[in-house]
């Protein structure tokens, strides 16, 4: 695997002199080719700043980074990248003309441009609105056109900042499927989103950023596995024999530390019961997010915050 | 080159109602003047042209001052600069847009003049060509200042910068023409009764426009464009 997006000890500070605030603090990250990478964090965590640095909208105060093998801000490289900004802002033109404009800015011409525009408008299900002015679209429709302009150059790397925030459930499903298809086609997707369930469903790896610092990074499945805890479901026993066990429709559920798993199973067998399942307990991404963001906020909160 | 053209045309398209309104002003004024005084003298027409020339420069400064800011405030700049567009191309595109707008404005004035008085058309062309080139240089100077100052301040500072020769002239301090070709062109347009083209000054003004485009591009390449500007 090769990394398509790489941050190396990047710090980005705003403000002047003594009033400087670090939006990113010694931030390092690598996104590998062909993966969907979820980039999470509470508001003000520095996610958008990290994205803007990669695209060259701003310069790092310290550190450096590479996108598709070139330093951040390399204009020609952006022809191989698609970007959808949070709260996308578009010129008020007919959808077809607008997507064509953005495609042409990326160097597409003539038949190739016309074909790409047609394909992406189909992909975001906006073909029937192609001649209508984008200024008259709803937020959801504008977001679809935003996605179309990001896809028009058939990018190797797709950077999406809250791509589904204004979409209805059907729209979200359509975008999710589109992203999965893109991954199957070998594209890399860097996805910043607050919709954790969505990230959980499609992302191969996830990073959690809080106050400009990377708190956690790893494979989604690994991060969600709650290490050291297993859930045992058994039948043919009474729940009163096991501390904290619950019974429902003849099945007894026992949550035990992984160290006590074997012993508990043997006790169930000794009591004449049968094991139905043993599952390492998983948490949701929301649990992880709240745990990380909450811990950090508590660490940084003043003692008399509510005094 | 293509991105520059696309951004320039897009700018004119975004400003199309303003462009149209202002382009209709010269013919509307000339029609009104004709309606109230059927015998316009060459002097009247010359004064009208001088006024249009001054307006062209003024509009160039005002529009150049707000061009980047409009795109940043609306966040549409992110869509453009996330493509394979260099900052210098973006600045060149906006300048081209302002220049196209001024070309439409001065062209409308000239066309109307040609319809009303064919005899004054040649003189009008010389005058408007000079005003156009002065507007090119003035807008590039303003664009340079707007890369690091808010629009109002950029307009003010550009106005002061472009007007320094007037102050020096008042104080009888000698200054070289090549330092402020836009001022020389405008001075000649507004003060010289029988205006003659000065190709050397025209070329200098074009060179000024290019120099300030380069300066604006360099400064803008170091600017954080996504930071809130409010």
One domain for residues A23 and A149: yes
pLDDT number for residue B209: 95
One domain for residues A60 and A124: yes
Residue B222 distance to chain A (closest CA, Å): 7
Q: What is the mean pLDDT of residues A278-303?
A: 71
pLDDT in tens, B138-163: 999 999 999 999 999 999 999 999 88
Q: What is the mean pLDDT of residues A34-50?
A: 91
pLDDT in tens, A9-28: 999 988 776 677 888 999 99
- State the CATH number of the domain containing residue A266: 3.30.70
pLDDT number for residue A307: 35
Task: Tell whether B230 is covered by a domain.
Answer: no
Q: What is the domain count for chain B?
A: 1
The model's confidence at residue B113, banded by pLDDT at 50, 70 and 90, is: confident
Percent of chain A with pLDDT over 70: 94
Of A89, A91, A149, the CB nearest to B10: A91
- Residue B16 near chain A (CB below 8 Å): no
Residue B170 distance to chain A (closest CA, Å): 40
pLDDT number for residue A258: 77
**Rounded-to-integer distance, Cα B162 and Cα A1, Å:** 57
pLDDT at B96 over 80: yes
Q: Among residues A158, A177, A211, which one ends one of the domains? A: A211
Q: Phi, psi at residue A84, to the nearest 5°?
A: -120, 120
What six digits make up the tokens of A211? 């106050």
- State the CATH number of the domain containing residue A77: 3.40.50.300
One domain for residues A102 and A77: yes
pLDDT number for residue A162: 87
Q: What strands, in cross-sheet order, belong to the sheet with A246-248?
A: A246-248, A251-257, A225-235, A274-282
Q: What is the mean pLDDT of residues A237-242?
A: 84
Give me the domain span that covers residue B136.
Answer: 2-221
Task: Tell whether A87 is covered by a domain.
Answer: yes
One domain for residues A84 and A160: yes
> Do A102 and B83 lie within an 8 Å CB cutoff?
yes
Lowest mean pLDDT among A141-150, A292-301, B71-80, B107-116: A292-301
pLDDT at A244 over 70: yes
Q: What is the mean pLDDT of residues B186-207?
A: 85
Q: Which residues of B touch A55 (CB under 8 A)?
A: 81-82
Q: Among residues A181, A211, A241, which one ends one of the domains? A: A211
Q: What is the domain count for chain A?
A: 2
Residue with tokens 């607050």: A194
What six digits make up the tokens of A1? 């695997």
pLDDT number for residue A303: 43
Which residues 51-70 of chain B have a CB within 8 Å of chain A?
Answer: none
Task: Tell whether B83 is covered by a domain.
Answer: yes
Of A76, A85, A88, the CB nearest to B84: A76
Q: Among residues A159, A177, A211, which one ends one of the domains? A: A211
Nearest C-alpha neighbor of A91 from the set A82, A101, A81, A83: A101
Task: Tell whether B154 is covered by a domain.
Answer: yes
pLDDT number for residue A283: 76
Q: What strands, in cross-sheet order, belong to the sheet with A81-84?
A: A81-84, A157-161, A188-192, A36-40, A205-210, A213-219
Tell me the β-bridge partners of A21. A14
Task: Tell whether A69 is covered by a domain.
Answer: yes
Higher per-residue pLDDT: A221 or A47: A47
One domain for residues A178 and A122: yes
One domain for residues A174 and A238: no
Mean residue pLDDT of chain B comes to 88
One domain for residues A161 and A259: no
Percent of chain B with pLDDT over 70: 97
pLDDT at A301 over 60: no
Contacts of A48 (CB under 8 A, 6+ apart): A86, A161, A192, B226
Higher per-residue pLDDT: B196 or A248: A248
Q: Which residues of B touch A83 (CB under 8 A)?
A: 78, 82
HSE at residue A85, side-chain half, CA atoms within 13 A, is 20
pLDDT number for residue B46: 81
Task: Tell whether A277 is covered by a domain.
Answer: yes
Task: Tell whether A220 is covered by a domain.
Answer: no
Contacts of B115 (CB under 8 A, 6+ apart): none
B44 conformational bin, left if phi > 0, alpha if psi -120 to 50, beta if neither: alpha
One domain for residues A138 and A242: no
Task: Tell whether B227 is covered by a domain.
Answer: no
The model's confidence at residue A68, banded by pLDDT at 50, 70 and 90, is: very high
pLDDT at B203 over 50: yes
Higher per-residue pLDDT: A221 or A263: A263
Q: Which of A160-169, B186-195, B214-223 has the highest mean pLDDT?
A: B214-223
Task: Tell whether A272 is covered by a domain.
Answer: yes
Task: Tell whether B228 is covered by a domain.
Answer: no
Q: Which residues of B touch A76 (CB under 8 A)?
A: 84
- Residue B1 near chain A (CB below 8 Å): no
pLDDT at B166 over 60: yes
Radius of gyration of chain B (CA): 18
One domain for residues A165 and A267: no
Query: Mutate which of B2, B3, B81, B83 to test chain A, going by most A C-beta atoms within 10 A?
Result: B83
Query: Mutate which of A21, A75, A106, A142 to test chain B, going by most B C-beta atoms within 10 A?
Result: A75
- Closest Cα in chain B to A107: B84
- DSSP tag of A133: B
**Rounded-to-integer distance, Cα B101 and Cα B115, Å:** 21
Task: Tell whether A302 is covered by a domain.
Answer: yes
Task: Tell whether A221 is covered by a domain.
Answer: no
pLDDT at A154 over 60: yes
**Residues on A contacting B at a C-beta cutoff of 8 Å:** 14, 48, 52, 55-59, 75-79, 81, 83, 85, 87-91, 93, 101-102, 104-107, 149, 153
One domain for residues A271 and A170: no
Task: Tell whether B229 is covered by a domain.
Answer: no
- Residue B224 near chain A (CB below 8 Å): yes
DSSP strand pairing (A225-235 vs A251-257): antiparallel
What six digits make up the tokens of A29? 């990250």
> Do B224 and A59 lie within an 8 Å CB cutoff?
yes
pLDDT number for residue A298: 55
> Do B13 and A149 lie within an 8 Å CB cutoff?
no
pLDDT number for residue B211: 96
- Do residues A264 and A254 lie in contact, with contact meaning Cβ atoms separated by under 8 Å? yes
pLDDT number for residue A305: 40
Give me the domain span that covers residue A22.
Answer: 3-211
The model's confidence at residue A132, banded by pLDDT at 50, 70 and 90, is: very high
Q: What is the mean pLDDT of residues B196-225?
A: 92
pLDDT at A295 over 50: yes
One domain for residues A202 and A235: no
């Amino acid at each position: 695997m090769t990394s398509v997006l790489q941050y190396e000890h990047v710090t980005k500070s705003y403000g002047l002199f003594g009033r400087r605030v670090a939006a990113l603090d010694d931030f390092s990250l690598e996104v590998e080719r062909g993966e969907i990478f979820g980039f999470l964090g509470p508001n003000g965590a520095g996610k958008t700043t990290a994205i803007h640095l990669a695209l060259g909208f701003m310069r790092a105060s310290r550190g450096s980074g590479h996108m598709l093998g070139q330093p951040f801000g390399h204009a020609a490289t952006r022809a191989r990248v698609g970007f959808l900004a949070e709260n996308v802002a578009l010129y008020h033109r007919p959808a077809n003309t607008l997507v064509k404009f953005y495609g042409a800015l990326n160097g597409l011409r003539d038949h190739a441009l016309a074909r790409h525009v047609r394909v992406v408008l189909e992909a975001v299900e906006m073909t029937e609105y192609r001649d209508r002015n984008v200024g008259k679209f709803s937020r959801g429709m504008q977001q679809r056109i935003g996605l179309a302009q990001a896809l028009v150059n058939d990018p190797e790397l797709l950077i999406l900042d809250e791509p589904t925030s204004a979409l209805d459930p059907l729209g979200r499903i359509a975008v999710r499927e589109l992203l999965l298809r893109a991954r199957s086609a070998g594209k890399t997707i860097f996805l910043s989103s607050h919709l954790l369930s969505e990230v959980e469903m499609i992302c191969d790896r996830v990073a959690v950023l809080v106050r400009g610092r990377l708190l956690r990074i790893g494979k989604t499945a690994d991060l969600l596995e709650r290490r050291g805890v297993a859930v045992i479901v058994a039948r043919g026993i009474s729940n009163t024999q096991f501390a904290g066990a619950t019974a429902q429709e003849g099945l007894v559920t026992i949550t035990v530390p992984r160290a006590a798993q074997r012993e508990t199973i043997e006790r169930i067998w000794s009591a004449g019961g049968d094991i139905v399942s043993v599952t390492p307990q998983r948490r949701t991404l929301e649990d992880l997010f709240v745990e990380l963001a909450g811990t950090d906020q508590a660490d940084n909160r003043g003692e008399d915050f509510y005094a | 080159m293509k991105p520059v053209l696309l951004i320039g045309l897009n700018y004119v398209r975004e400003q199309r109602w303003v462009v149209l309104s202002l382009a209709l002003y010269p013919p509307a004024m000339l029609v009104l003047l004709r309606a109230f005084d059927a015998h316009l003298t060459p002097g009247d027409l010359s004064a009208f042209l001088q006024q249009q020339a001054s307006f062209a420069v003024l509009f160039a400064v005002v529009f150049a001052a707000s061009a980047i800011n409009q795109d940043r405030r609306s966040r549409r700049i992110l869509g453009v600069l996330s493509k394979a567009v260099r900052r210098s191309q973006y600045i060149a595109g906006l300048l081209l847009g302002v220049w196209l707008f001024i070309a439409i404005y001065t062209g409308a004035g000239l066309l109307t003049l040609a319809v009303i008085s064919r005899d004054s058309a040649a003189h009008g062309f010389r005058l408007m060509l000079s005003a156009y080139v002065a507007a090119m240089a003035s807008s590039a100077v303003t664009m340079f200042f707007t890369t690091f100052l808010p629009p109002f301040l950029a307009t003010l500072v550009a106005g002061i910068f472009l007007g320094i020769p007037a102050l020096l002239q008042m104080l009888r301090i000698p200054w070289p023409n090549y330092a402020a070709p836009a001022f020389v062109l405008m001075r000649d347009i507004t003060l010289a009764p029988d205006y003659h083209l000065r190709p050397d000054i025209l070329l200098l003004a074009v060179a000024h426009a290019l120099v300030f485009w380069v300066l604006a591009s360099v400064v803008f390449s170091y600017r954080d464009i996504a930071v809130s500007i409010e």
